[in-house]
Amino acid sequence: ETGVTQTPRHLVMGMTNKKSLKCEQHLGHNAMYWYKQSAKKPLELMFVYSLEERVENNSVPSRFSPECPNSSHLFLHLHTLQPEDSALYLCASSQDVTAGANVLTFGAGSRLTVL
């Protein structure tokens, strides 16, 4: 596989469930990101990891918990979510956090619906 792969593509969960989103990149990049995309709103940066260390956490509620076990994998653990958390969750990677043009390569996203 190439690029950035996200699973599952679709997820429906109740407010009391615990689930996880998975992201894997095959590009040899050092930085990985979680973004939230809601309809007609700008992308919201949630978390940034550089070389497996978290470097950014944009005041995200604790019901979202990231995990980066190695430079190729990124998880977003979800628990006791709210209906307003329903959105498309995009994973992205880049060569580094700040270097040069720092182009992001995105996965196709995980569409989350919270009932």
In the complex, the residues that contact another protein under the rule CB under 8 A are 4, 40-43, 45, 90, 97-98, 101-109
Closest to another protein by CB, 66 or 109:
109
Length in residues, the chain: 115
The CB-of-99 to another protein minimum distance in angstroms stands at 9
Q: Which is nearer to another protein, 16 or 100 (CB)?
A: 100
84 backbone dihedrals φ, ψ, rounded to 5°? -70, -5
CB atoms near residue 13 (< 10 Å): 17
CB of 63 to another protein, least distance (A): 23
Residue type, 61: P
Q: Which is nearer to another protein, 18 or 54 (CB)?
A: 54
- For residue 16, the minimal CB distance to another protein (Å) is 28
Give CA torsion, residues 50, 58, 40, 97, to 10 deg: -20
Which tokens is 16 given? 């009391």
103 Cβ neighbours under 8 A, 6+ residues apart: 94, 95
Nearer to another protein, 72 or 105 (CB): 105
